[in-house]
């Protein structure tokens, strides 16, 4: 492809390290879309004839159909998707194919193709996140007032509601959604026409190609346009944070589905059995989702390191961007879909949640708050008294509501019968009406807000 400059072909090892066709063929559709936009623009600006542009357009459509139906012969000698497509175009249409690369370089070409590919994946991630959020909202709606233990340090802390717990993940995935949308808005500038690095002397129309490819505008600086991989880094960063969120929820599902917790029952459709232990039902999907952050964040780290210290403008190092992004994207979309499926299918065991909600002295804070509110005791003193009562209940092997009024008055004389009204789990959650709190009325407001957001 480089004509006269070379007397000898590449060493086999050179070809092996150089070629990217093994993976960048995944960008064939984007490459052909970019070439069609470029050819149409070259004709509109009079750089090539309408006849040549028409031959190129027809030829590219033939190439695309060959790739789609699997008859296209990819060649390692032709390095990458760009040269594979162009060489085949030449086979099909002959001389006009040689005019397609006017005012363009593989440097702006690859940046354009890759951006289009990543943009599609951002759209897929948006759809996957929306579906997951909807599944969580349905769970939250069903159990807005189901009580369960809330944890800190994975120790029972205070009772919360199932709906509140589900809505916490809606907030996390909601931030992931906004990161995806931000990244898409920021990346949507066209590199096409930056050429090798300096722009071109041909009278090209970059606004035209940008519009044809759905970009908001051409990238402003040609050096930056061919060397920028921020869009891929942002994609991987957003994916990594989302994968962290997915892993946290997956971990909860793994714990919750154990015989010790029984908070949820995962569906057969998202569980597996054991080849030796007939009783087993394993949460493999949740475990694999938990693990995906490893490769996704690995890709993020890898590309950060590839880009670190690269001088302007294009360097071949940047060819190492694609496999990381492809793998991370595939696994991110799969993890989102698997999580959505699991959440849709899972059953929360209301009775187990309720039984656990009152365990571990979960209403001790309510007792202390009652003393502050009713007896006007300073919170620190109320905390101390309550701690003594918890120790008493623990030594008797009972829960706080099981202590007698006499026992409690032995620790603080001012305590009255009214105390039992706050020791119940339902009362506890109903009282947490502060903005964003766990009271079912608050949770329903959060659900309503998100339902509105999703409609918009």
Name the residue nearer to ligand ARG (CB basis): 191 or 218.
191
Report the C-alpha gap between 239 and 245 in whole angstroms: 10
Find the helix or strand (DSSP H, E) in which 158 lies: strand 155-161
Catalytic residue status for 101: no
- The CA distance from 270 to 282, in Å, is 9
Among residues 153, 201, 275, 434, the one annotated as catalytic is: 153
Q: Are 245 and 292 in contact (CB under 8 A)?
A: no
Closer of 108 and 340 to ligand ARG (Cβ): 108
Is position 412 annotated as part of the catalytic site?
A: no
Closest CB 85 distance from ligand ARG, rounded Å = 12
CB of 71 to ligand ARG, least distance (A): 23
Residue 148 has φ and ψ, to the nearest 5°, of -155, 165
Ramachandran angles phi, psi of 150, nearest 5° = -95, 145
CA dihedral 8, 14, 16, 19 (to 10 degrees): -80
User: Comparing C-alpha atoms, which of 175, 129, 158, 343 is closest to residue 250?
Assistant: 343
Q: Minimum distance from CB of 16 to ligand ARG (Å)? A: 14
List of residues 6+ apart from 97 with CB closer than 8 A: 56, 59, 86, 89, 90
Q: How far is the CB of 80 from ligand ARG (least distance, A)?
A: 4
Toward ligand ARG, which CB reaches closer, 110 or 213?
110
Of 349, 326, 160, 165, the residue nearest 261 (C-alpha): 349
Q: What is the largest CA-CA distance in the chain?
A: 101
**Choice between 318 and 385, CB closer to ligand ARG:** 318
- Which residue in this structure is represented by tokens 């409609």? 455
- Least distance (Å) from ligand ARG to the CB of residue 315? 9
**What is the Cα Rg of the chain in Å?**
30
State the residues that interact with ligand ARG by CB under 6 A.
20, 24, 80, 106-107, 110, 314, 316, 318-319
Least distance CB 124 / ligand ARG (angstroms): 22
Q: In angstroms, give the least distance from the CB of 296 to ligand ARG.
A: 21
Q: Which of 343, 303, 341, 345 is nearest to 322 (CA)?
A: 303
* Dihedral class, residue 397 (left if φ above 0, else alpha if ψ from -120 to 50, else beta): left
Strand 217-218, strand 189-190: pairing: parallel
Our CB check for ligand ARG shows the closer of 219 and 346 to be 219
What six digits make up the tokens of 410?
Answer: 């032995």
Cα distances (Å, whole numbers) of residue 217 to 9, 25, 189, 193: 40, 26, 5, 12
The CB-of-318 to ligand ARG minimum distance in angstroms stands at 5
Nearer to ligand ARG (CB atom), residue 19 or residue 144: 19
Cβ distance to ligand ARG smaller for residue 102 or 445: 102
Neighbours of 91 (CB within 10 A): 11
Beta bridge mates, 189: 217
Is the peptide bond prior to 75 cis by the omega test (within 30 degrees of 0)? no
39: which 2 tokens? 């050819």
Judged by beta carbon, residue 162 or residue 314, the one nearer ligand ARG is 314
Q: Which of 65, 75, 178, 274 is catalytic?
A: 274
User: What residues act catalytically?
Assistant: 153, 274
């Amino acid at each position: 492809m480089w004509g006269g400059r070379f007397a000898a072909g590449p060493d086999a090892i050179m070809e092996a390290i150089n070629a990217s066709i093994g993976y960048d063929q995944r960008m064939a559709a984007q490459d052909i879309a970019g070439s069609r936009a470029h050819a149409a623009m070259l004709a509109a600006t009079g750089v090539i004839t309408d006849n040549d542009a028409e031959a190129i357009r027809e030829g590219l459509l033939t190439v695309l159909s060959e790739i789609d139906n699997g008859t296209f012969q990819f060649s390692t000698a032709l390095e990458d998707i760009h040269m594979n497509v162009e060489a085949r175009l030449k086979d099909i249409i002959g001389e006009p194919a040689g005019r397609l690369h006017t005012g363009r370089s593989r440097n702006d070409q690859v940046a354009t193709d890759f951006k289009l590919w990543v943009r599609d994946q951002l759209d897929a991630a948006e759809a996957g996140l929306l579906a997951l959020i909807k599944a969580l909202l349905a769970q939250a709606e069903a159990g807005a007032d189901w009580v369960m233990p809330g944890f800190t340090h994975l120790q029972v802390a205070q009772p919360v509601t199932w709906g509140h717990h589900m809505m916490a993940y809606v907030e996390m995935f909601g931030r992931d959604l906004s990161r995806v949308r931000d990244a898409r808005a920021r990346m949507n500038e066209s590199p096409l026409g930056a050429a090798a690095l300096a722009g071109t002397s041909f009278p090209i129309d970059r606004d035209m190609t940008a519009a044809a490819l759905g970009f908001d505008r051409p990238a402003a600086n040609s050096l930056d346009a061919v060397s920028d991989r921020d869009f891929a880094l942002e994609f991987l960063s957003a994916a990594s944070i989302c994968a962290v969120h997915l892993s946290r929820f997956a971990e909860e599902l793994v714990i919750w589905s154990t015989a010790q917790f029984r908070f949820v029952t995962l569906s057969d459709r998202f569980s597996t059995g054991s080849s030796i232990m007939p009783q087993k039902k394993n949460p493999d999907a949740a475990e694999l989702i938990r693990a995906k952050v490893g490769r996704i964040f690995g890709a993020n780290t890898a590309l950060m390191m590839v880009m670190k210290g690269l001088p302007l403008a294009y360097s071949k190092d940047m060819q190492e961007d694609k496999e990381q992004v492809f793998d991370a994207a595939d696994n991110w979309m799969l993890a989102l879909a698997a999580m959505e499926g699991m959440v849709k299918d899972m059953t929360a065991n209301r009775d187990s949640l309720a039984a656990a909600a009152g365990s571990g002295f979960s209403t001790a804070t309510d007792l202390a708050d009652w003393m502050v509110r009713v007896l006007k005791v300073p919170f620190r003193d109320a905390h101390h008294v309550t701690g003594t009562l918890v120790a008493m209940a623990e030594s008797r092997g009972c829960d706080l509501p099981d202590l007698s009024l006499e026992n409690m008055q032995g620790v603080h004389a001012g305590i009255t019968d009214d105390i039992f009204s706050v020791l119940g789990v339902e009362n506890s959650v109903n009282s947490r009406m502060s903005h964003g709190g766990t009271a079912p009325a608050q949770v329903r407001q959060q659900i309503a807000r998100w339902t509105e957001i999703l409609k918009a």
